[in-house]
Amino acid sequence: MSTIYSIAPDIRDYAKPISMYNINDILQKYQDKAGALSWTNYFAAILETKTTRTSLKQTRNGVETVSSNKQTMKNILFIIIDDLRPQLGAYFDPEHPDYFSQLKIYTPNLDKLASQSIVFKHTYVQYSLCGSSRTSLLTGRRPDVTRVFGNHWYWRDVGGNFTTLPQYFKDNGYLTIGLGKVFHPRASSNNDDPPPWTEPYHQVPYTDKYFLSNGSIGGWNSVSQKDVEELPLADMMSTVTAKTTLSNISKIAKTGEQPFFMALGYNKPHLHFICPEEYFYLYPLEDKDICMANESWQKPNIRPQVWIDGLEMSDEKRFLPPDVLRKLRRAYFACISYMDHLVGEVLQHLNELGLADNMIVSFMADHEYHLGENEHWGKITTFEFANRVPLIIRIPGITDSGMTSSSIVESLDVFPTLVEAAGLDPVPNCPRNSFDISLCVQGTSLMPLIIEPNNNSKDVAISQIVDGRGMYYAIRKRVFRFVDYAYLKAIDAADGKRITSLEWCANMKCAKLFDHRNDILEQINVVNETSYNVNALLVDSYLIYFGVA
């Protein structure tokens, strides 16, 4: 396998024909904006303007000096992946090999990062759809506050003018750079949310060259080296841009006087499952572990209260033939290894530039993805399979030896965590009503867990999805997943989007409870078994939801 992997393409070569990502074009862009400034002069000019910001930092931190700033102001690389299950080598669980099948995914670069990081084994998103999930994690607020329940709503319009993670770093003097898919593009972020970025945003170049000819949303494809030489895949271009940008800011970054925050978002393994053909060789189609045992997606008795119509791939009968299932799953896994290679390119470049020792690296996904499990192909469910994501955070000097946490945490915790890890002033916790407060978070810093991984102080995650008639809420607490439903009772007539009143489905008749001690695939509803104290679980969880605990 390692031999096959080593012939993976060198994306630097593939990028050469792409003029829009040519460094000369980037230089030209800055020259246009700042008169005749070259990159070097551009950043020199930035340095000169930082005097005021440095003074502010000194005031904020009391006795902090400029020289201590150089040591404490760590740079941030925030990597977010689209539709990635925590099915990485570092997440392979020998105690539960049947959760993802026994197939071990080939992710050597992320495994290496994990060995120098804290790996959060149980991280849950607040909404299993791109726009809603990314909005929550980047604002640090729950969907009921952002009011983003789809991919076409912008929180600054429907929720409030909330400060985001990169914006907070910008406000604290960081150079902030965004590449690829970070916020969900277009309407749900007003085109990558302009306020957080000090530099022009690098959007994902769109091409449908490799999409399927029948126009289907779902499917897979492999591309040859010749194809990629003519037109690189989007994530390859984002990688080249990331490396080029890092090269250009490395000199100024290493002085310690200009920290930077880079957000880098990759599209794969999102549909279509398209990547270079070399990565398909890692997963022979005949490998029995490509698929799980059939029973994992043949349990219709738990429908429909735990999922709504978020299917992305199915035939008219919503069931895919076994040979198609196998090819699709294989292609998804190939795309994970492809993404791993690209992330590895960037991490290696950090090492080569001498930036890694002062660089916090955060790696996560926007939500998980059903590959047939729970009889579902897609996202937007309240199952574990749509809501659990990888979260790997490397903090130099703290996580170097590698550590894991099994505590249950949420993606909206990442905002306050990175703020504390970087040594910035903590972001205040949101009060009960925070629609008019620009700077606060509902998440909790995970730094106490990073210092002491066995500290399970939170251990609750809440996710939700809207279905037009109401809202599903899912609570993951310790070994339990609880799902209940609330009917929509009122909506703000002003914009037709602000939900103002919900009424719980009465007497637990919509509720589901899964016990992961003997049901990790969530196929047995035990909510009516008297041995479970559902009310205690709910009370604890509501306290977390409202920020009381």
User: How are beta strands 75-81 and 260-266 bridged, if at all?
Assistant: parallel
430 is catalytic: no
Strand-pair category, 499-504 with 260-266: unpaired
Question: In Å, how far are 290, 373, 539 from 98, measured between CA atoms?
Answer: 12, 11, 32
- Measured from the CB atom, is 71 or 191 closer to Ca ion? 191
Please report, in angstroms and rounded to a whole number, the separation of the first and last CA atoms in the chain. Answer: 48
Q: Which stretch binds Ca ion (CB under 5 A): 358-366, 387-395, 399-407, 433-441?
A: 358-366
Please name the residue that has the structure tokens 């698929």: 291
**DSSP H helix total and E strand total for the chain:** 18, 16
Q: Among all chains, which residue has been given the structure tokens 């937007």? A: 380
Distance of closest approach, residue 180 Cβ to Ca ion, in angstroms: 13
Mark whether 440 is an active-site residue: no
Grouping H, G, I as helix, E, B as strand and the rest as coil, residue 476 is: strand
How distant, in Å, are the alpha carbons of 211, 438, 469, 485 from that of 185?
Answer: 19, 22, 26, 30
Task: Work out how close the CB of 264 gets to Ca ion at its nearest, in angstroms, rounded to a whole number.
Answer: 15
83 sits near Ca ion (criterion: CB under 5 A):
yes
| Closer by beta carbon to Ca ion, 130 or else 246 | 130
Question: What is the pairing mode between strands 359-365 and 388-394?
Answer: antiparallel
**DSSP for residue 441:** B
**HSE-up of residue 145 (Cα within 13 Å, Cβ side):** 30
CB nearer to Ca ion: pick between 244 and 464: 464
Q: Do the beta carbons of residue 275 and residue 382 sit within 8 Å?
A: no
Question: Judged by CB under 5 A, which stretch of 10-18, 111-119, 125-133, 529-537 contacts Ca ion?
Answer: 125-133
With beta carbons less than 8 A apart as the criterion, state whether 15 and 202 touch.
no
Q: Does 82 bind Ca ion (CB under 5 A)?
A: yes
From the candidates 122, 184, 270, 376, give the one annotated as an active-site residue. Answer: 184
Tokens of 413: 């915790």
Closer residue to Ca ion (CB): 165 or 510: 165
Residue corresponding to tokens 């919503």: 318
* 480 beta partners: 477, 515
Candidates 340, 366, 368, 410; binder of Ca ion (CB under 5 A) is 366
Kindly tell me which of 82 and 278 has the beta carbon lying closer to Ca ion.
Answer: 82
Site for Ca ion contains 373 (CB under 5 A): no
Range in contact with Ca ion (rule: CB under 5 A) among 58-66, 335-343, 363-371, 399-407? 363-371
**CA 39/CA 475 separation, integer angstroms:** 49
CB of 85 to Ca ion, least distance (A): 11
Neighbours of 454 (CB within 10 A): 8
Catalytic position from the list 122, 130, 367, 510: 130
Taking CB under 5 A as the criterion, the residue among 130, 179, 262, 336 binding Ca ion is: 130
Strand extents, DSSP E, 148-281? 175-180, 220-223, 260-266, 273-276
Please report which residue ranges of 61-202 form alpha helices under DSSP H.
66-72, 108-115, 130-139, 143-146, 155-158, 165-171
- Could you give the angle at the alpha carbon of 278 between the alpha carbons of 361 and 312, nearest 5°? 70
Q: Do residues 373 and 294 lie in contact, with contact meaning Cβ atoms separated by under 8 Å? A: no
CA angle, 228 then 234 then 238, to 5°: 115
Beta strands in 165-266 (DSSP E): 175-180, 220-223, 260-266
Q: Between 74 and 181, whose beta carbon lies closer to Ca ion?
A: 181
d(CA 459, CA 436): 29
Q: Is the CB of 150 or the CB of 547 nearer to Ca ion? A: 150
What residue is closest to Ca ion based on CB?
A: 130
- 182 binding Ca ion? (CB under 5 A): no
Q: How many residues of this chain interact with Ca ion, rule: CB under 5 A?
A: 4
Task: Indicate whether 235 belongs to the interface with Ca ion (CB under 5 A).
Answer: no
CA distance 149 to 143: 7
Going by C-alpha positions, the residue among 191, 178, 338 that lies closest to residue 245 is 178
Of 343 and 356, which CB lies nearer to Ca ion in the complex structure? Answer: 343
Q: How far is the CB of 423 from Ca ion (least distance, A)?
A: 31
Supply the minimum distance, in Å, between the C-beta of residue 82 and Ca ion.
4
CB under 5 A: which stretch of 128-136, 137-145, 468-476, 499-507 binds Ca ion?
A: 128-136
Q: Which residues bind Ca ion (CB under 5 A)?
A: 82-83, 130, 366
Catalytic (active-site) positions: 130, 184
